[in-house]
A = this chain, B = another copy of it.
Amino acid sequence: MDEKVLLGHGSGGNMMRRIIDEVFFAGYGNEDLAVGNDAADLPAPQPGERIAYSSDSFVVTPHFFPGGDIGHLAVCGTVNDVATSGAVPKYLSSSFILEEGFPTEDLKRIVDSMRRVAQEAGVEIVTGDTKVVNRGHGDGVYINTSGVGFIPAGRQLGGQYIQPGDRILVSGTLGDHGITIMSCREELSFHADLQSDAAPLNHLIEEVLQAAPETRCFRDPTRGGLASTLNELAEQSQVDMVVEEDAVPVKPAVRGACEMLGYDVLQVANEGKMVAVVPAAQAEAALAAMGSNKYGADAAIIGEVVEADPRRGARVSIRTNFGSLRILDMLVGEQLPRIC
């Protein structure tokens, strides 16, 4: 195999054939991918089931970081988005935009990492695409994944179903991914063992749904962090939310880094955490289910949904350690570009 990616690897001709065979098929090939038609031909869901569908592009820099890499992230991100609907994720697409000169060895590492996490999540990469852009028009590698899942009959989740009285849960500590990327990029070293939380959470979600079948919705607090996620959810259902600052799990190293850099940890990105909104009666069951999953050890109930004042619309507040309430806004502007 060529040592670096060349423009010809995106040509549609024999060089593209070579990179597909030697890198992508060799990495995460399977029967569906190997057929080699323009579209994969796949079994549909059972009668009564529905389709969940999502897509994300990944432009994170650096490509490799403690706890993961851009390929790992690209699989986890889409698996998690699909799973938030209550679906069992089934099929992924994986499309690469490579920059001329990108080392083939790095690409193989990324593809291998995608294979491993796809296997853990139980999804198959069934279709894909390879484009190459000339030097100076990319940043090594960008990856788009899209995902299709099957939603079991009767399951209906979404931010539009939240009701006053519901409890808000997070599946673990916040800010790990954002602060890890930040510290790689700036070559800061906040704490030796700080690492990205990027993880596939579809099994965790399924376990929560078994324990708390009336869960209203899941959402992963990626870009914009918990603050942006809760504001989106509150607006979808036109409710208020109150978060207890004391209850929000944050690693000391992440807290320290945020204080030093002036970041609000609630606006920092996560890639392996799930927010769930659950009726009060099932909140403890949901928490126990999260806590039993390996990615949910630090899960916590962090707040509550209350009625919104109809004169001003949905609002998210946080009760600080000192007992005062302050408004928790969506992220304004951009604090950390290309976090995922």
Contact = CB atoms under 8 A, between A and B. Distances in A.
Interface of A: 6-8, 10-17, 35-45, 47, 49-59, 80-85, 87, 91, 93-97, 126-129, 131-134, 136-139, 142, 144, 146-151, 156-160, 217, 219-220, 222-225, 228, 232, 236, 267, 269, 329-335, 337-338
Q: What copy number does this chain have within its complex? A: 2
Return the 3 tightest CB-CB contacts between A and B, nearest first. A12-B223, A13-B331, A12-B224
Nearest to A6: B334
Contacts of A10: 223, 334, 337-338
B334 A51 contact: no
11 contacts: A37-B217, A38-B220, A39-B53, A40-B54, A41-B85, A42-B50, A42-B53, A51-B148, A53-B93, A57-B144, A132-B337
A200 B81 CA distance: 29
B17 A236 contact: no
A232 to B, nearest CB: 7
Contacts of A148: 51, 53, 148
B85 A12 contact: no
* Secondary structure call for the A interface: mixed
Nearest to A227: B13
B49 A13 contact: no
Contacts of A150: 44
Nearest to A129: B56
A97 B97 contact: yes
A40 B85 CA distance: 8
Contacts of A38: 54, 80-82, 84-85, 219-220
Contact of A57 (B87, B96, B139): B96
